[in-house]
């Protein structure tokens, strides 16, 4: 009974309030959680993308390694040029792995034309769209990824827990904190 009420609320949230949910935080009530996962409110996409990412997590890592090795071994470029190139490749990595090869360098892939492009599904489900759309050209991909997704297995495997903790600590230090309860004299 409770699950039906919650499901109805989620299904009408976009229509009634203009809200679309992409994360579920619950108290562990399995019947409600199960029902919400079954209906996937506000989503026209199946769970194909998250499953694809989990199955291919080591391929994401090998893409990072390949890009780093290539840029490290290039001669005749300044460090700044190499950093710009590797940032571009790392930012493009998730798109490449999900089937969008429009920005891939020729050394990296052969622009597979028969591969299904899962990027629209990943963006629609909120998996990569929220983070990558906020990046600027000077951002460091792993720092931004760790900042916005500190529990991401990909960052943990590639960079380690200490890196993630350092990013979280630095981000908290640099964030503006409003002391609204401070009395004015």
- Give the model's confidence band at 13: pLDDT under 50 very low, under 70 low, under 90 confident, else very high: confident
Element (H, E) at 168: helix 161-174
pLDDT at 18 > cutoff 80? no
Q: What is the pLDDT of residues 58-101, one digit of tens each?
A: 787 888 888 888 888 888 989 888 888 887 887 777 788 888 88
The pLDDT score that the predictor gives to residue 126 is: 61
Q: What is the pLDDT of residues 138-167, one digit of tens each?
A: 677 778 778 877 777 777 777 888 998 998
Contacts of 99 (CB under 8 A, 6+ apart): 112, 115, 116, 117, 118, 119
Listed by start position, the domains of the chain span 2-43, 50-174
Contact predicate 145/152, CB 8 Å: yes
pLDDT at 108 > cutoff 70? yes
Q: Which of 153, 136, 155 is nearest to 145 (CA)?
A: 155
- Give the model's confidence band at 181: pLDDT under 50 very low, under 70 low, under 90 confident, else very high: very low
CA–CA distances in Å: residue 3 to residues 20, 37, 63, 86, 171: 19, 11, 42, 47, 38
pLDDT at 178 > cutoff 50? no
Report which of residues 10 and 168 the model is more confident about.
168
Extract the tokens encoding 13: 């949230």
The pLDDT score that the predictor gives to residue 155 is: 76
**Mean pLDDT over all residues of the chain?**
73
Count how many residues are written for the chain: 185
The pLDDT score that the predictor gives to residue 131 is: 47
Interior angle at CA 36, CA 35 and CA 40, nearest 5: 120
Overall pTM > 0.75: no
The pLDDT score that the predictor gives to residue 162 is: 92
Number of helices (H), then strands (E), in the chain? 10, 0
Report which of residues 71 and 7 the model is more confident about.
71
**Euclidean distance between CA atoms 120 and 113, whole angstroms:** 16
Extract the tokens encoding 106: 């020729």
CB atoms within 10 A of CB 53: 21
Residues of the chain above pLDDT 70, percent = 67
The pLDDT score that the predictor gives to residue 45 is: 47
């Amino acid at each position: 009974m409770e699950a039906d009420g919650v499901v109805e609320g989620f299904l009408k949230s976009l229509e009634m309030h203009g809200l679309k949910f992409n994360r579920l935080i619950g108290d562990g009530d399995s019947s409600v959680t199960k029902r919400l996962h079954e209906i996937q409110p506000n989503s026209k996409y199946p769970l194909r993308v998250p499953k694809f990412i989990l199955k291919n997590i080591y391929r994401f890592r090998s893409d990072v390694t390949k890009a780093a090795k290539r840029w490290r071994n290039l001669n005749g470029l300044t460090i700044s040029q190499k950093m710009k190139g590797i940032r571009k490749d790392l930012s493009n990595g998730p798109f490449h792995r999900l089937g969008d090869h429009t920005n891939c360098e020729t050394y990296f892939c052969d622009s597979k034309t028969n591969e299904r492009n899962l990027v629209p599904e990943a963006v629609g489900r909120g998996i990569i769209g929220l983070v990558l759309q906020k990046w600027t050209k000077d951002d460091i991909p792993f720092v931004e990824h760790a900042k916005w997704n500190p529990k991401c297995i990909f960052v943990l495997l590639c960079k380690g827990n200490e890196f993630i903790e350092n990013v979280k600590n630095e981000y908290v230090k640099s964030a503006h904190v409003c002391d609204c309860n401070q009395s004015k004299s």
